Amino acid sequence: MTETTFSRVRRTLSDLFSLSPDAITVDTTQKDIEAWDSMGHLMFIEALEQEFETQFSPENVEAMRDLGTIVRLLGAP
């Protein structure tokens, strides 16, 4: 069973902020989620780096404010 990048991002986000995965789509942005504030952003970036075993550049960290961009930066699948 291979999970898509989107579904891994969604699970990371829903686990981290205790959200229902159903409420999260590829269009979800930082503004839609209350807990995703500036500290929340740092935590989410940490969590994504752990999930995908990668490190983001400071420029990408700035840009990763919506799920579409995050999935694109992480690359398919």
Partner 1 sequence: MEAGLPSRDTIEAHLAKGEYGVGRGMLAALFESKPTLATAQYVTDRFLRSSAPRTPLKVAILRSYTVEPMVPLLRARAALLGLDLSVHVGEFGAYNQELLDASGALSEFAPDVVVVAVLTDSAIPDVWRRATELGPEALVQHVDEALAQVERCLGRLRERSKAHVILHTLDRPMWLAAGLLDEQSPSGQVALVQRYNDGLRRIARGIRGVYVLDFEGVAAAHGRARFYDPKKALTMGMPLAHDALLPLADAHMRIIAPIAGKSAKVLVLDLDNTLWGGVVGEDGVFGVKIGSDYPGAGYQELQRAAVDLSRRGILLAIASKNNPADAEEVFAKRKEMVLRLDHFAAVQIHWNDKATSLRAIAAELNVGIDALAFVDDNPVERQRIELELPDVHVISLPTDPIGYAAAVRSAPVFERLTLSSEDKDRSKIYVEQRQRSELEKGAASVEDYYRSLQMVATISAVGPGNLARVAQLTQKTNQFNLTTRRYSDQEIELWAAREDARVFCLSVRDRFGDSGLVGVAIVSRTGGEAEIDSLLLSCRVIGRTVETAMLAHIVAWARDAGVRWLQGSFIPTKKNAPASDFYARHGFARVETSPDGDVQLFRLDVREADVRRPEWIVMEEG
What are the residues binding partner 1 (CB under 8 A)? 1, 11-13, 15-18, 39, 42-43, 45-47, 49-51, 58, 61
Smallest separation (angstroms) from partner 1 to the CB of 11: 7
- What tokens were used for 58? 């400071």
Confirm if 33 and 25 have CB atoms less than 8 A apart.
Answer: no
Smallest separation (angstroms) from partner 1 to the CB of 49: 7
Report the alpha-carbon distance of residue 34 to residue 31 in Å, rounded: 7
Q: Quick one: 39 or 76, whose CB is closer to partner 1?
A: 39
Q: Quick one: 26 or 45, whose CB is closer to partner 1?
A: 45
What backbone phi and psi angles, to 5 degrees, belong to 32?
A: -80, -15
Smallest separation (angstroms) from partner 1 to the CB of 45: 8
Report the alpha-carbon distance of residue 33 to residue 13 in Å, rounded: 10
